[in-house]
Structure 1
Amino acid sequence: MRTVAVALAAVCLSIVSAPAVAGNVVPPGAAFGAYASSRAYTEQISSTFYLPMRDGVRLAMTVSRPARNGKAIEGRFPVIWHHSLSATQEPNDGTGPFSGGFRSMPQLTDFGYVVVQVARRGNGQSFGERRGYHDRNEAQDAYDVTQWLAGQPWSDGKVGIYGCSNTGDAALHAVSMRPPALKAAFMGCFSWHKYDAFRRGGIFAQWGTGPARTVEEDMKQKAVDADPQKTLLRQAAEEHQRSTPLFEMWKGMPYRDSYSPLVASRFWAEGSAAHYADQIRRSGVALYVVGGWMDELRDQGLITFLNVPGSRIVIGPWKHCANDDFPLVEEAHRFFDEHLKGIDTGLRNAPPIHYFVQNAGTAGEWRSAAAWPDAAGTLTSFGLGADGTLGGKAGAGSPRALDIKYDVACPDPGSGPFAQPCHVPGAGISYAGKPLDAETEVTGSGVADLWVSADAADANLFAYLEDVAPDGTIRVITEGRQKASLRKTAEAPWRLPAGVPWHRGFAEDAEPLVPGTPVRLTFELMPTSWVFKPGHRIQITVTGADYRERARDKAALATSVRIYSDRARLSAVMLPIVSRK
């Protein structure tokens, strides 16, 4: 056992309980009010050990308890836990150094919580094999761990869970199992449906590797207390090598209904929280969703919010699992105090939506709303004019030709979930509007509505919404993508933001292109909130390749695409324009 002194701000800051006014602008300096909760402890004591599951697989666990003078405090406390890739919060767990807030959750022992880290089976110090990624084996483990935590002598029987990225997914899958002791879940940057997260628009881009560590990499982790020679850790590491290779599994499932022989499952369904939506809604577990406007999964968190009544969401100007200077731990503290300790923190009366409007004013501003349709703008159509302008008219001329550059590179590339869309001069066709006379706010999900033809049976299309400054500097604000052969739309089985099309993406829905024949593609531009300043121009750029694509099969894709803007086939985009009167 070891004693660790930890510190947390004595006064916790949190979002104020503002009136539930649609798109309410929070005055400067008042975005975050004071949530006072006295610190009861200044030390914690932690122990690590193995907990056997129903099938004998041993999961590694770290339990951190409030302490004083090097000894754990006697008594019962609510428990918060994290279903992670290690029991010791290693940097490569997926929430690493980019998620300072989430990594600091163990500090909540200061305020009378037991905080627990559990390595998922087949990962970290735990034994077993990872069959898929958030499969029902892991979900059943989450149920068993939750109920075990509730029954310990240091537990008061009320349990919460938290996580971001892969651990955010794990938290939502725990909710889907409806363990009686689970009362609250605080989750960031996760997927509602894995197909839409990993193969957005049917295109395998940005995501796709997952944890795939060697024995040597696993051996660098800290072992549990009873394994000082790392004998058990090596046994566990060797078992991990029999895990399903996730990249191969995802690459081998091009359709939403694809069957993977690697896991003997239609895994997009099995591993997606969306398929357990009714269980999640019936669980009664309070949900708090955290998202970022520069995170690939921002639409997934918003869709979760729309489909689970009573949930809350905060969306900031952040990348994946980042929170900059936002007091994330303090907000989680307030949330857990409300739902695990029964303290009236004012949270229940606060608007359920808080979002950051980027570029508003001098540095952006926080706003609150009672419902996402209230916050989002009205979809307004802008034609991709025959003259190459945004908001232009149809013409009788020839379509614009896009010769696709598959060696496209970004001058400032990111990696994995932190990679951002990038404007590459000469790699796409751009449609720019006139310089703006006044500020124009875009908040919500846009829609690309393109008429295209290609010289092959398929093409990948990307559309970027961009801000062009007077000096010519271009910033990508948001983006969408769609594989042409999977253009068929259908009624979504869950609620989506207003006007957003849904593609079922089953194998039987695939419709190869006939070379030279125009077809219509409609797809979402992922949600954002951005103010375009006077003198700037709104621009749409369409490309046929993106540096984030994974396992691209160039032989099956077009080398040239044409974009139509004639009277019968006017390509357009619809942007959610906000009117502030």
Structure 2
Amino acid sequence: MTSLAPSFLPTVMPSTLRAAAIPAALLLGVFAACRPSASPATAPAGTAALPAPYIITDGQSQVVPAFADTTQWIRERLWVETEFDSDSDGKRDRVHVDVTRPGPTAAGLKVPVVYETSPYFAGTDPDEGLYWPVKQELGDTAPTRKLGKGAPFNPGRTRIANSQVRNWVPRGFAVVHSESPGTGLSQGCVTIGGMNESLAPKAVIDWLNGRAKGFTTIDGSAEVKATWSTGKVGMTGTSFNGTLPVAVATTGVKGLEAIIPVSPNNSYYRYYRSNGLVRSPGGYLGEDVDVLYDFVQSGRTETRALCHQKVRADIIWKGLDRRTGDLSDFWTKRDYIEQAKGIKAAMLTAHGFNDWNVMPSHTTLMADAVRANGVPVQMYFHQGGHGGEPPIGMMNRWFTRYLLGVNNGVERDPRSYVVREGAARTSPTPYAAYPHPDAALVSLYPVKGGTQVGGLAFAPVAGQGSEVLTDDVNQSGAQLATAASSKNRLLYATPELKAPVHLSGTARVSIRVASSKAAANLSVWLVELPWPANTRGAMDPNGIITRGWADPQNAKSLRVSEPLVPGQPVTVTFDLEPDDQIVPAGKRIGLMIFSSDKDFTLWPAPGTVLTVDLDGSSMSLPVVGGKGALNRALP
């Protein structure tokens, strides 16, 4: 019997795939085009015939001997001239590029390109003491930090990277790498989200299409042309290397047909701030834009002093603002979600729902923005942390469709794949969309008793008044969640579930809160109770459903902080990070409210008192099946 599953999925679907995932009729339509063609070497109907020796099976380009013969691979390096002069030397910056292409290109075969660019290829600053001290009273000027020296400059490097090569060259793609401006053997300045980081890979794509010039040396005039390139380019990479495909896609450059960003930072404000609050990325307490700037320095030593002044001092330090955390033009210029209208490349994007470094909202918000352009978007999610590519078959179908032009039906594949709890990352469950199409927001309201464990009700309970907590950054979130009683947090939970509850989408909280001081951190975790005994710190996904942070001073505007009047409440409404998780029977879903989060926020001295008005506070929870499903799961 022919399987309806795409070829990158197991023939037998995981047991968690139920009717709620995709109706049978839709599955038939979605997967019909994914079946193997009658002749593996024949392109599907409606597809221009591919030249020998390409072989397409199950809509994917296959490894073939002529492409896989490493002794025939052609490797070359060059410098591509950009359209900018970021180091102010009076000449356009050139970026360092290397190419690996299959042997048949020497005989005239033209091939598409899989391209990865990065500021990391030439090394990073080994000093781990560059982070900002986080022991800081809110609203005070930030203490000074140690400045980095960057990585040693190595002028003798002849090879940029080998990533992507083993996967794609044997399948008939060339692989291209480039080093970001100011790193490795590329000219220019590091800017961390500046426009030159978008325009540098654009220049490389222009070179692959004959619109920009490449040279054999960094300062010479002997040209190199990409006569072997079809001009069709796909980009991929993880973390910063996944950010840059999105950055260049915002330019709308012709020839960039598809991108596969993995855990991309699509907004530097969202990476280093949260709803007006100064907040570190998980695992890197005290990191900020200028720390990352120092960290990736690996370019020419003689250029660094100029770049430190022009970029770090004159731009980053003037825009950083670790005192208020407010949104500003400095940040919007480094927000690719705001620039997403320029994206025309088809996007397969991947993220972990427990990635507390680059949080999953980066991907879900970008997917929404790109989808609004009428561009094909597919999403792959897993339950782990930072990184994690889609299965190679998914990536292959994407590049085969958009770079080789094979009509493999990828546009009709499910729009969302989620690796269910306990499943292998190579066996995701398909869904028609993310969030789950049957998910609906369910309003829940806190019930008094939060210093121990209060309740969560479907309707407001009138006349409850307020409950208080006292900030103490010395108490970790995990300690607060496990405490039977605590004066340092408020915790409200459902009864124990008698059936699993599937959460899919973005939870939102609205908290009416007063502070005893003019500034306060506000942290919210959505947790499973009882808290698992085997958690291994703040980045461990066990126990955490999702979380979020906000500055009550920004209750009205992200751009303007208004100091709190002690004792006078404000209503702070914000989204938690998106999630897709099945909470098992026997657990309780808990809403935990506290102040300073020692793994993410600044560390003011303990003692600030927050008063939460229960009558003015609520949560919206995205439940598959809505209120009825949650109600049926409760005793």
- TM-score w.r.t. the length of structure 1 is 0.75
Q: Which amino acid aligns with 1:147?
A: D
- Change over 3 Å in CA distance of 1:485–1:442 after alignment to 2: same
Task: Indicate the residue corresponding to 1:79 in structure 2.
Answer: 113
CA deviations on 1:254-278 (whole Å, 9 max, x unpaired) are 45553xxxxxxx2212121133232
Bigger share in strand: 1
CA deviations on 1:482-537 (whole Å, 9 max, x unpaired) are 1101112xxxxxxxxxxxxxxx5112xx3332211222211112111111222211
| Secondary structure of 1:384's aligned partner | strand
Q: Are 2:510 and 2:617, in contact at CA under 8 Å, matched by a contact in 1? A: yes
Q: 1:49 Cα shift?
A: 3.5
Match of 1:271 among 334, 350, 355: 334
Task: Indicate the residue corresponding to 1:446 in structure 2.
Answer: 507
Q: Are 1:87 and 1:117, in contact at CA under 8 Å, matched by a contact in 2? A: no
Q: Are 2:353 and 2:578, in contact at CA under 8 Å, matched by a contact in 1? A: yes
Matched-pair identity in % = 21
Q: 1:454 Cα shift?
A: 1.0
Q: Are 2:119 and 2:296, in contact at CA under 8 Å, matched by a contact in 1? A: no
Task: Indicate the residue corresponding to 2:260 in structure 1.
Answer: 186
- Change over 3 Å in CA distance of 1:129–1:217 after alignment to 2: closer
Task: Indicate the residue corresponding to 1:533 in structure 2.
Answer: 584
1:505 is the counterpart of 2:574: no
Q: Are 1:288 and 1:311, in contact at CA under 8 Å, matched by a contact in 2? A: yes
1:319 is the counterpart of 2:385: yes
Q: Are 1:205 and 1:548, in contact at CA under 8 Å, matched by a contact in 2? A: no
Match of 1:48 among 67, 77, 98: 77
Aligned residues: 498
C-alpha distance in 2, partners of 1:117/1:203? 36
- Change over 3 Å in CA distance of 1:358–1:111 after alignment to 2: same
Q: Are 2:522 and 2:549, in contact at CA under 8 Å, matched by a contact in 1? A: yes
1:564 is the counterpart of 2:623: no
Q: Which moved more, 1:440-449 or 1:138-147?
A: 138-147
Match of 1:24 among 16, 22, 32: 22
CA deviations on 1:542-579 (whole Å, 9 max, x unpaired) are 110112335x3737x971111222xxx24222211112
| Secondary structure of 2:203's aligned partner | helix
C-alpha distance in 2, partners of 1:179/1:366? 32
Task: Indicate the residue corresponding to 2:547 in structure 1.
Answer: 479
CA deviations on 1:384-423 (whole Å, 9 max, x unpaired) are 11133231463645522211112345789xxxxxxxxx95
Q: Which moved more, 1:193-202 or 1:331-340?
A: 193-202
Q: Which moved more, 1:143-152 or 1:395-404?
A: 395-404
Match of 2:102 among 66, 75, 82: 66
Q: 1:249 Cα shift?
A: 5.9
Q: Which moved more, 1:237-246 or 1:146-155?
A: 237-246
Task: Indicate the residue corresponding to 2:456 in structure 1.
Answer: 391
C-alpha distance in 1, partners of 2:305/2:172? 38
1:157 is the counterpart of 2:231: yes
Match of 2:369 among 289, 294, 307: 307
CA deviations on 1:358-401 (whole Å, 9 max, x unpaired) are 369x9998433333355362111221111332314636455222
C-alpha distance in 2, partners of 1:340/1:91? 36
| Secondary structure of 1:546's aligned partner | coil
Match of 1:129 among 189, 192, 198: 189
- Change over 3 Å in CA distance of 1:91–1:252 after alignment to 2: closer
Q: Which amino acid aligns with 2:260?
A: F
Q: Are 2:242 and 2:264, in contact at CA under 8 Å, matched by a contact in 1? A: yes
Q: Are 2:289 and 2:320, in contact at CA under 8 Å, matched by a contact in 1? A: no
- TM-score w.r.t. the length of structure 2 is 0.69
Q: 1:39 Cα shift?
A: 0.9
- Change over 3 Å in CA distance of 1:237–1:25 after alignment to 2: farther
Q: 1:447 Cα shift?
A: 1.0
Whichever of the two has the greater Rg, that structure is 2
RMSD between superposed Cα atoms in Å: 3.9
Task: Indicate the residue corresponding to 2:244 in structure 1.
Answer: 170
- Change over 3 Å in CA distance of 1:185–1:375 after alignment to 2: same
